[in-house]
Structure 1
């Protein structure tokens, strides 16, 4: 390598270091394959790190608030994958705090094992990884009864709903969610397409497959927000990063305040009815089938 090449490489490494947060472990980023062994970063890794750092900006103030008065924050990271988010949260926040725990939940056993090995190698003693589906986590007997924060970064399709179920069951103080691949509702729209085209001109909004996918994604996230509001959360919806970095870019932040909004549950049910989705998705979003509602309204002995 010439002197000029060596100087260029050193400048490139310095530029990468300038993008990192203070105190960030280079060994961790190299182990996660965000940094190369030479301390450099490609565009794909840069996009990935940018997403996690942006999410960290939203989560860190919540952790600061929850860590007051000596409390040890407990965070569950659902659909953790390679646990980029969990590791970076621990490295930048939990490690210096000296208390609290990060629990990563991921169904792919090989990823869980790698995360366990990495946490042990780095001395991240208050990280725990569970090999299970998100949907099964709430019933896990050896998990605490309450969690402070629930996160899900690109938990695919209904895994985001499972993370919300977990957060509600564990009385989470906050949930930070970046949904991904919302396909379930789109399947329901396709199933009733012919009937709805005859019933309402609104069905033109999802007549074409690409519109079905996009509208299904939009409605799914609207229903999630209404469900959270109906269960006592204040909800903010924003972008995670610029669209040039990720098309899966919607960020839902929910903070518990305890005031359940009946109007939110009513609107949720009305949207399901408008799109003919209550039989398929009513149970998932806490809106029982119309027949069950009518029977309940009739009262004991009057539902025949």
Structure 2
């Protein structure tokens, strides 16, 4: 009996040691995926990391998207915070404010100046974000319980913002974020549009007329094509609207398509050069697809049917 106990002990110790080594390797692998200076405690509070400091597949995908977006936003913040300027950033459709908290943790906290405003219509998420910011001591983060469409006229917000972001703001909320950015004279906008139904509905409404008028209507004859075509047209109109309003626009992928199907990233930087060709093409596309009456005002069309300057 004693021999069995004696010989069994090293096996248990070896197993325990192996388990510890595996845990240590897993922890090291997680830390290797985090950006330098990233607070592990913040990621736990956001439920991106488990209480044990682990990443599951869903949270890894979420973190990857936010980090990729940070790579585009950080150089803008660095440029706009030069000469002691305190940058102001508005995050529309903030949800649980993953993006805002990580931006604050990685950039604003060390900078020591500047503020982030998270705008979200779900009151319970706003309250949760306020409580988390207070716990973490993120004093220059503010959260407003309101729809994106109402934010531009809100007295609680500054008159101007440096950067406007919208990560997966649903349907027309991306357009509302653009309108907010234009009104607040944003120096840059960083947008990742989400689901879009409005243009698709317009295309469905005029489908019979369009099919009789042009063979190009075959591009949205089937429902799945209508949905995708509507989304594509919407983002094209957004880019033209921004260019017509004085922004230089770049469109690229956020991350690999395996991480998100809503993957189009629109980067707009204000130059003040309003492109006449963009205004003309915007008007022509709205007219061609029968969208001018329904969506003209959203994209700057005046009552006469031309694009307002």
Cα offsets for 1:275-301 (capped at 9, x unmatched): 111111111111235xx348x9xxxxx
Hey, what does 2:55 align to over in structure 1?
Answer: 41
Q: Is the 8 A contact 2:203 2:226 kept in 1?
A: yes
Q: Is the 8 A contact 1:238 1:250 kept in 2?
A: yes
- In the alignment, the residues of structure 2 paired with residue 268 and residue 2 of structure 1 have an alpha-carbon distance, to the nearest angstrom, of 66
- In the alignment, the residues of structure 2 paired with residue 264 and residue 210 of structure 1 have an alpha-carbon distance, to the nearest angstrom, of 28
Q: Is the 8 A contact 2:166 2:177 kept in 1?
A: yes
- Which secondary structure state, in structure 1, belongs to the residue aligned with residue 168 of structure 2? strand
Structure 2 residue 163 is matched with structure 1 residue 149: yes
Unaligned runs of 5+ residues in structure 2 are 1-14
| Equivalent residues, number | 293
Q: Is the 8 A contact 1:278 1:288 kept in 2?
A: no
- Per the TM alignment, residue 2 of structure 1 is displaced from its structure 2 partner at its CA by 2.5
Hey, what does 1:188 align to over in structure 2?
Answer: 202
- Which secondary structure state, in structure 2, belongs to the residue aligned with residue 181 of structure 1? coil
Matches within 5 A, 1:58-97: 58-97=72-111
**Among candidates 196, 203, 216, match of residue 202 of structure 1:** 216
Hey, what does 1:6 align to over in structure 2?
Answer: 20
Q: TM-score, normalised by structure 1?
A: 0.95
Matches within 5 A, 1:1-304: 2-289=16-303, 292-293=304-305
Q: Is the 8 A contact 1:76 1:149 kept in 2?
A: yes
- Which secondary structure state, in structure 2, belongs to the residue aligned with residue 155 of structure 1? coil
Q: Is the 8 A contact 1:177 1:253 kept in 2?
A: yes
- Per the TM alignment, residue 9 of structure 1 is displaced from its structure 2 partner at its CA by 1.4
- Which secondary structure state, in structure 1, belongs to the residue aligned with residue 169 of structure 2? strand
Cα offsets for 1:190-237 (capped at 9, x unmatched): 111111111111110000011001111110000000000000000000
Q: Which runs of 4+ in 1 moved over 2 A?
A: none
- In the alignment, the residues of structure 1 paired with residue 302 and residue 109 of structure 2 have an alpha-carbon distance, to the nearest angstrom, of 44
- In the alignment, the residues of structure 2 paired with residue 260 and residue 28 of structure 1 have an alpha-carbon distance, to the nearest angstrom, of 41
Unaligned runs of 5+ residues in structure 1 are 297-304
Of structures 1 and 2, the larger Rg is shown by 2
Q: Is the 8 A contact 2:91 2:100 kept in 1?
A: yes
Q: Is the 8 A contact 1:66 1:73 kept in 2?
A: yes
- In the alignment, the residues of structure 1 paired with residue 86 and residue 302 of structure 2 have an alpha-carbon distance, to the nearest angstrom, of 38
- In the alignment, the residues of structure 2 paired with residue 254 and residue 235 of structure 1 have an alpha-carbon distance, to the nearest angstrom, of 4
Hey, what does 1:300 align to over in structure 2?
Answer: none
Q: Is the 8 A contact 2:200 2:231 kept in 1?
A: yes
